[in-house]
Structure 1
Amino acid sequence: MRRRGPGAEHGRVTETIAWLSLSPPEVLVVLGAVALLVARRLPPAARRPGTVAAGAVLVPSAVVLGLVGIRWQMLPVLAGAAAASASALPSLLRRRAGRPARRARRWLALPGSLACAGLVATGPVAAWAFPVPVFPEPTGDFAVGTRVVQWTDPLRPETFTADPDDRRTVVVQLWYPARKSPAGVPGAPYLGRTRDEARTVSKALADGVGLPGFLVDGVPRARSRAVLGAPPAGGGDRFPVVLFSPGSAGVRSQNTAWAEELASHGYLVAALDHPYDSAVVVLADGRTIRGTTASSGDRDRDAEQAVGWTAVRAADLGFVLTRLERLDRGEPADPLAGRLDTGRAAVTGHSLGGAAALQAARRDRRFDAVVDLDGYPHGPTAPALRQPALALTQEVTAGTDPRYLPRLAEALGRTTARSYRLAVPGAGHLTFTDGPLYLPPVPSIVGTLGRTESPRVVAAATLAFLDATLRGRPGDPADTLRAYGTVSTSGPGGAPVPPP
């Protein structure tokens, strides 16, 4: 039996605080506010020391929050504590001066106490609904490093601008197997290379779904499990390559938990920002490019536009694979040179990015496998796919677009390889992203799998497929995929494959 070290208890406390979605100073503020409310109901002899003790916890903790930045979720807690203090302190001061304390009438004191308690309770509930995301610890054998690169295609004009000299530029985030960093090295910032970039991206994502930006102000504070700029893992292992395209108005980091899990199992993941299509892209020179693609409200017009956007994304994916080939050859010199197995490459994406992945695979035979995370297959279904494909989807309900499954069946059916569709019970569209880690647990938005299970299921299913198709692991991946939902398998030409 493994013996628990001295840090085990600390680990349990840290996990509890993470589950509460509160930082240690925030926990102390809430406890101080609760203690202040309780002190008001204590017997007269204990009321004053109880109030002083509560203030000794509350005030320093609030000062610390003021220095590091107060989240909006703590404002009602502080308001409730301030209201309770305003009614308690005058009585305490009168008693200290030797004058009889005056208490509010019961009919007024009780509603006031309940209002203060409601304000204090609102803080933890709001923090739980809109938390600072806590990323799961990757389960693979490797530590994970990450870095961001920017590449310009000199042969391809930028079609979203009128400047004839403008060339297509993409920003790419790499996650890769890395050497283990010393204890205490912080994880990479989430959503951006800097806190300012993370705030810009967070606000753009909130605007894209119609949320006030302050609701997700905890997201730019998050740090992932990967270490920025960590050296690649030692040894001579070469890493299969997985390219990723985000959803419409998504961003390259929207699937960080998924990417880190794959990298910990020995893959290099390259996720793209598509300028003018992603919610916002911050270039290396500081320029900010905001998304210009948007729904017109007309279904046919939107479908036509989506075909064009998908084609641009597919070309981006092919270009990035070319740049990764050059990087592996040391053009220019790079720590990852000689470590990338671009001869074993998969193309993946979420939503519109899934459609782009399917199109990239049709156009570029260098890709050996394709994964579509709940994406409607826009664009042509010819020529036939030559690569094995996996589509992860929600379960079909009355609200599912009736065109979706027939279109997906057509896209996967036109293949000369085997394809799989995994319908994940309890999944929502954003289950296939980091969304469950920081959005309210509303089933119609993030599904019902929960903050822990959502990233685990999506990454595990993807790994089962990639290990079989890129690494040649023996056995049918459908056998593993069935642990996560209902699997439909098609052979060449779309012929159904019966389960064993």
Structure 2
Amino acid sequence: MGTLLLLIALTFEIAFAIYCMVTKQNHKKIKNWMRIAVFCAFIILTLSSVIVWSLRWVLPAILLLILAVTGTVSLIRNKTNTKQYKTSKLVWKSIIMLLAFVFALVPAIVFPQHPSPKVTGEYEVSTATYTYVDKNRKEEFTDNGDNRFVNVEFWYPKNADEKYPLLVFSHGAYGIKASNTSTYTELASHGYIVVSIDHPYHSFYTRSEDGTNVLINTDYNREVDNLNKEGIYTRAEEYGLIQKWMKLRTDDMNFVIDTILQKAKSDKTSVYQHINTEKIGVFGHSMGGASSVWLGRERDDIDAVVNIDAPFFSDLVYKKEIGDYAARDEAFKTPLLNIYSDDVWGQLDSNSTYVANKLNNKNFKDAYTVHFQGAKHLSLTDLPLFSPILANYIQGGSADIDPYYCVETENSLILKFFDDKLKGIGHFTPKKTY
């Protein structure tokens, strides 16, 4: 919609400028009426929900309102246009107006309005956000002595009348807790309570209950960026960074789970009172998926794990004698579903950080593994729907898979897996390739 409106605006401004140059007149009265009409059309499209109002439309609305008001004032004053026509002045005014429309419509182009993926469950979904403060940990990214805090958001069945399994999600390296909102909504609509975690200073940004905003830490950002480049770190240095990141992530996840389990015993808030504390699943994308697999090994109360496009950092061993990675030799006993894009699928046979993910690893012989052919790393999040331009920029190109097919199929697989493992519904038998 943003791109279409920009094309219409550019076409109108260019066509009108050419008309003025051909007739050698300013046609100010016609321009005023047309700008009033355009603003009215914008209002009608918004009221009829063709344009779904959101922050992306604030700048275009302000620009069109200003043009409509100035046009109306000019018509009311009804002054005779005595200004002499000048082509150079007309061209400059047109260029400025074109730039103004481009600037105003950038948010709508970068973050286009889009239909939400299908929600197939019977429950209406509610959300709630909280900030948990860990009194047992100090924040390592600051020197002010504050305790570590974690922001979480719940998606859960509205008007709940029973207890539901708890599912805990962890985002990727630069992600945010809303990265897979369509997945949480689908799961909650089928009777799950989903909580997604913002890992402060690992997430792109996070906002606390008191309004505090925290952006990604620059040192962490640089470390992740350098890890994806050849020759920056030795294997030993890479391994050290991975262990540091995983400790922070798994400490956050353990703290959130323990906090929720405690609140389920004492807090009268509806979302906590409807959690079945005997049924817990964890899942995550990229680094969050690695953290989820780690918790699947670490905690006895985790009943199912979904790993979305992540290495098994929990099963990665650095062997000094060979100066390279090897896979841990211990069976993984928690039910596990791996979902891979092309970006990761092509690395599963290498001796990289994915060495433990090899399909012939006998310690994961009972795990389910599916491959989304044509998908890229971010195809397994909602970002390609929310901002195709941003997703393509971050992952270095567009994916060869329909984003709605990819996300909706992924959501369906995750739902069926958790239904089987946590609720005993159905028999999970996925295809190998989608």
TM-score by length of 1: 0.63
The CA deviation at 1:163 is 7.1
State the secondary structure of the residue aligned to 1:477: coil
| Residues 463, 62 of structure 1: alpha-carbon distance in 2 compared, 3 angstrom cutoff | closer
State the secondary structure of the residue aligned to 2:281: strand
Q: 2:273 & 2:55 partners in 1: Cα distance?
A: 44
The CA deviation at 1:343 is 1.6
The CA deviation at 1:366 is 0.7
Alignment correspondent of 2:296:
361
| Residues 248, 52 of structure 1: alpha-carbon distance in 2 compared, 3 angstrom cutoff | closer
Alignment correspondent of 1:6:
none
Q: 1:277 & 1:314 partners in 2: Cα distance?
A: 13
| Residues 317, 326 of structure 1: alpha-carbon distance in 2 compared, 3 angstrom cutoff | same
Alignment correspondent of 1:438:
387
Alignment correspondent of 2:239:
303
Q: 2:112 & 2:125 partners in 1: Cα distance?
A: 21
| Residues 63, 338 of structure 1: alpha-carbon distance in 2 compared, 3 angstrom cutoff | closer
Matching of residue 470 in structure 1 with residue 422 in structure 2 = yes
Alignment correspondent of 2:194:
269
| Residues 266, 446 of structure 1: alpha-carbon distance in 2 compared, 3 angstrom cutoff | farther
Counterpart selection for 1:56 from 33, 36, 42: 36
Aligned residues of 1:149 and 1:172 also touching (Cα < 8 A): yes
Q: 1:354 & 1:433 partners in 2: Cα distance?
A: 12
Counterpart selection for 1:175 from 132, 152, 155: 155
Aligned residues of 1:177 and 1:264 also touching (Cα < 8 A): yes
Alignment correspondent of 1:388:
335
Q: 2:214 & 2:29 partners in 1: Cα distance?
A: 57
State the secondary structure of the residue aligned to 1:384: coil
State the secondary structure of the residue aligned to 2:187: helix
Aligned residues of 2:416 and 2:426 also touching (Cα < 8 A): no
Aligned residues of 1:36 and 1:51 also touching (Cα < 8 A): no
Alignment correspondent of 2:221:
294
Q: 1:278 & 1:93 partners in 2: Cα distance?
A: 56
State the secondary structure of the residue aligned to 2:423: coil
Alignment correspondent of 1:496:
none
| Residues 115, 173 of structure 1: alpha-carbon distance in 2 compared, 3 angstrom cutoff | same
The CA deviation at 1:349 is 0.9
Matches for 1:59-458 after TM superposition, within 5 Å: 129-134=109-114, 136=116, 138-154=119-135, 156-158=136-138, 160=140, 167-178=147-158, 233-236=159-162, 238-292=163-217, 293-296=220-223, 297=226, 298-299=232-233, 300=235, 301-329=237-265, 331-380=266-315, 381=328, 383-395=330-342, 400=347, 402=350, 403=352, 405-409=354-358, 413-415=362-364, 418-436=366-384, 437-440=386-389, 442=392, 444-445=396-397, 447-458=399-410
Choose 433-442 or 275-284, whichever is displaced more.
275-284
Deviations 1:218-253 (A, max 9, x none): xxxxxxxxxxxxxxx2433x2111111111132222
Counterpart residue type for residue 358 of structure 1 = V
Deviations 1:281-309 (A, max 9, x none): 33334444444323443343233211221
Number of equivalent positions: 382
The CA deviation at 1:157 is 2.6
The CA deviation at 1:453 is 3.2
Deviations 1:413-445 (A, max 9, x none): 424x72112111221111122211213163735
TM-score by length of 2: 0.71
Counterpart residue type for residue 428 of structure 1 = K
| Residues 340, 63 of structure 1: alpha-carbon distance in 2 compared, 3 angstrom cutoff | closer
Deviations 1:276-334 (A, max 9, x none): 332333333444444432344334323321122113322322332222222332x1221
State the secondary structure of the residue aligned to 2:132: strand
Q: 2:145 & 2:98 partners in 1: Cα distance?
A: 59
Aligned residues of 2:416 and 2:428 also touching (Cα < 8 A): no
Gaps of 5+ in 1: 1-19, 179-232, 487-500
State the secondary structure of the residue aligned to 1:385: coil
State the secondary structure of the residue aligned to 1:253: coil
State the secondary structure of the residue aligned to 2:314: coil
Counterpart residue type for residue 409 of structure 2 = V
| Residues 328, 163 of structure 1: alpha-carbon distance in 2 compared, 3 angstrom cutoff | same
The CA deviation at 1:379 is 3.3
State the superposition RMSD in angstroms: 4.5
Alignment correspondent of 1:229:
none
Counterpart residue type for residue 315 of structure 1 = D
Deviations 1:80-115 (A, max 9, x none): x99xx9xxx9xx998x77x9x96969xx99x99997
Gaps of 5+ in 2: 47-53, 227-231, 316-327
The CA deviation at 1:368 is 0.8
- Residue identity over aligned pairs, in percent, reads 20
